[in-house]
Amino acid sequence: MNDLDIRKVLKSELLDKYGNDSETMILEELGLKHGRTRIDLVVINDRLHGYEIKSDRDSLKRLTEQINIYSSIMDRVTLVVGYRHAYNALKMVPEWWGVRLAEKDEESGTVFLSDARLPTDNPRVDINAIVSLLWRDEAIDILKEIGESKGVRSKTRTEIYNHLVQVIEPRHLCAIVRHQLKSRKDWRSGAQRRSCGG
């Protein structure tokens, strides 16, 4: 059982759940922290719910770094893991992460997913990390809309992000970032999007 086997079943489940919801988008391979890592799937609606897949053929070597990055950005995270890594993964990930176990029926070849632990809300999202999901031009456009763009074009990306954090209340800024991700047309990062609800 490999990543693709699990991904196919997970995507199918998510589409069954959100396929008719026009307020939801599903993204594959979303780059985080400007390409430091990518999360396998993200559901975007009134929160960011990330899904990371670790099949029996994968390694957990990168999981520690992924935990740190995903936990700074995602409202919820679910690790979908094969039985080979389940015990170690459960010990590694934060308690608020969900964990789903992937098992393959050897006769039929069907992959089944079951809940080992349901996800809960992230107790400590980092607004600075969330804002980094925006492209530079998107951040500038947001500042223009609220009349806070004077002199920002000459600033570094980090300075622009910092300015956004200073002038927009965190919960509202998170909502703006989610809206921007859902309305983005030109996914230069290579992320594949699927708009739900038609």
Which of 82, 87, 48 shows the shortest CA–CA distance to 180?
A: 48
| Angle of CA points 163, 165, 168, to nearest 5° | 100
| pLDDT tens, residue by residue, 101-128 | 999 988 888 999 999 999 999 999 999 9
Report the alpha-carbon distance of residue 22 to residue 25 in Å, rounded: 8
Task: Give the model's pLDDT for residue 167.
Answer: 96
Cα dihedral 182, 130, 191, 142, rounded to 10, equals: 50
Radius of gyration (C-alpha) of the chain in whole angstroms: 18
Task: Give the model's pLDDT for residue 197.
Answer: 65
Task: Give the model's pLDDT for residue 191.
Answer: 54
Q: Which residues of the chain have pLDDT under 50?
A: 189-190
Residue indicated by tokens 């607004």: 127
| pLDDT tens, residue by residue, 157-182 | 999 999 999 999 999 999 999 999 99
Task: Give the model's pLDDT for residue 178.
Answer: 97
Report the alpha-carbon distance of residue 62 to residue 151 in Å, rounded: 39
CATH 3.30.160 describes domain 3-124: no
* 72 and 43 Cβ atoms separated by less than 8 Å: no
CATH 3.40.1350 positions along the chain are 3-124
